[in-house]
Structure 1
């Protein structure tokens, strides 16, 4: 029992520290008298239960995938460093790609048991700074769709630098024939 109390106190401290300064959590604690850590655990448990039992699961999972990521992206934009900007830009590319794939495979995903629980876990893995799942997935898979590896630069910035000239179909103006549709 003592070991359970130590675990409780350890995780309670971590959650309470993470929620300090969060206005909604502070207001919840002040108005109800319930510690904000317990409120967050209860809200998380309720949301997980709703996803588990498929009660508004698509909406909840997409709200989590969009809502927190949008908040963190706005925070990253305002921060002076660029490291978190790259993390969230990569997240949005991966999240968008997965939503498009899901749209076309919805008939198949309907038959996957606990699909939205799996998707929720996957989205959390993608966005956590500790796992940097979106960056891993991008580097190991999606990047190959964008950058070809046949003797071309592997850095996307090399494709967009102003010093490189990218040939376009209209760059040779002499070969483009424009029909004359004037009527006399």
Structure 2
């Protein structure tokens, strides 16, 4: 117990700022830093139990590849850039499929671990899974449907421009409507009256 007290003593000044924690530590006859350390450890343990799988997955599938992608951008070689760009393409396509068919795929036993294994296969330098899947399936599919994809992108861009134009036109009409100015003036007068009553 003395060793634990010594190791966690640096936390004591922080823990002493909480009177209840300081009193509890005195009741147990330990440094308040020990209780703070125990509380942090329990919180970390609960977080890992509840969200550990998500944290592990995000670390393996997003943080590590993002770090490697940044490293690849800093090198002169285009090979590693292509490798990580390919990973992100497959990653995005897989997540799209998982979002669309997730309600069905989640019925597969151990689906979560299958997904995690799949992502490890994609990014492992020994397997080069992302490059294999891209070259075997995605590349041909994209080349065959290039004009359809470009048409869809143009349609979406056109629709967004139309919606923005209509919203701008409606906003201009609302700004030019004198009734809206009267309503705004009435609301402001009402708010001022309420403020005057409150003072």
- TM-score, scaled relative to structure 2: 0.45
- Work out which structure has the larger RCO, using CA pairs closer than 8 Å and 6 or more positions apart in sequence: 1
Q: Which protein has the bigger helix share? A: 2
- When Rg is computed on C-alpha atoms for both structures, the one with the higher figure is 2
